[in-house]
Amino acid sequence: AAAVSQVTVRDALNQALDEELERDERVFLLGEEVAQYDGAYKISRGLWKKYGDKRVIDTPISEMGFAGIAVGAAMVWLRPVCEFMTFNFSMQAIDQVINSAAKTCYMSAGSIAVPIVFRGPNGASAGVAAQHSQCFAAWYGHCPGLKVVSPWSSEDAKGLLKASIRDDNPVVMLENELLYGVPFEMSEQAQSKEFVIPIGKAKVERQGTHVTLVSHSRPVGHCLEAATVLAKEGVECEVINLRSIRPMDIETVEASVVKTNHLVTVEGGWPQFGVGAEICARIMEGPAFNYLDAPAVRVTGADVPMPYAKILEDNCIPQVKDIVFAVKKALNI
């Protein structure tokens, strides 16, 4: 049997950056604290020592500035990886991400490519209040010209980051700070230097027959936990890890809904115009709608800016019990 080892999401991302910096000299990393400090979250640990000042660059606290430098570099065919200390701070640079990066290929009739990756933690961490806890999957997923990926496991993190760096288009990679230290099993194949996960393909993490759970990022873990709880009561959940927000693999979701006849979406972001709302609309407009035996149910973050107090925070983020409740509502049990 092939060797399987436990690797944290942090180490998987570090591995991906190391391999891609080594593979292509046009790749470079920039952002706050990425070099001498080894990264605010230690994602870039050891890379500055190994590759030096030209490839791993500490920037001032000026998101619009360094994102702009990165986009300019991508336009002349370097391959920057631009780290935001949290995606909440990408608000400072959203003009660069959308107007300078996402729209340029189209506006230049395909003559200017922008091969750039914007990456960093997205969504709620713990105890950091509203300005550090927002999920931007729906914001960036809204915009044509961008690809948006949202990994859950170490394998997702490595395969999607490598695919993003190699892609000739701007990619937004939404990681999760609370997953960085979590170990996942990684196959020998996933640890090879040529392992990439194609952008736009969801993964069925658990087979089931009664209800389809669709999620991305950290809530995928919650869905699997809820599935374990529900299995004890005879309810078999099929859990889908979206992995990619844009393009969205609606075919995998449709195939599952045709099988289970029920749909629950789960996300950490806000309800209005969210990822779950988009999935529900696509299912309603597509061939799987006639297979639904009940209305789809969304599980989302609460419709408020994230509170600081822990008890309030816990009530704002979807928990396993919320998913179990939603499944029972969908199945009318």
Contact present, 283 and 265 (Cβ < 8 Å): no
Contact present, 10 and 149 (Cβ < 8 Å): no
248, 137: one domain: no
pLDDT, tens digit, for every residue of 87-128?
A: 999 999 999 999 999 999 999 999 999 999 999 999 999 999
CATH number of the domain where residue 225 is located: 3.40.50.920
12, 130: one domain: yes
Tell me which of 191, 219, 245 is where a domain ends.
191
Identify the burial level of 49 via C-beta atoms within 10 angstroms of its C-beta, where 0-12 means exposed, 13-18 middle and 19 or more buried.
exposed
Cα(6)–Cα(9) distance, rounded to whole angstroms? Answer: 10
Share of the chain above pLDDT 70, in %: 99
187, 251: one domain: no
Domain count along the chain: 2
pLDDT above 60: residue 77: yes
13, 152: one domain: yes
164, 49: one domain: yes
Residue-averaged pLDDT of the chain: 97
Selecting among 19, 32, 63, 83, the annotated active-site residue is: 63
DSSP 132: G
Residue 1's pLDDT is: 56
Share of the chain above pLDDT 90, in %: 99
pLDDT above 70: residue 313: yes
Selecting among 32, 83, 132, 278, the annotated active-site residue is: 132
Residue 300's pLDDT is: 98
* Helix pair 320-331, 219-231: axis angle to 10 deg: 60
Identify the residue with better confidence: 1 or 323. 323
Contact present, 121 and 176 (Cβ < 8 Å): yes
Does the residue 87 lie in any domain? Answer: yes
132 catalytic residue (yes or no): yes
Contact present, 276 and 267 (Cβ < 8 Å): yes
Tell me which of 191, 226, 249 is where a domain ends.
191
Residue 2's pLDDT is: 66
DSSP reduced 3-state for 172: strand
Residue 97's pLDDT is: 98
175, 295: one domain: no
63 catalytic residue (yes or no): yes
Structure tokens at 274: 């969210």
62, 178: one domain: yes
Tell me which of 191, 213, 238 is where a domain ends.
191
CATH number of the domain where residue 16 is located: 3.40.50.970
Domain that holds residue 46: 7-191
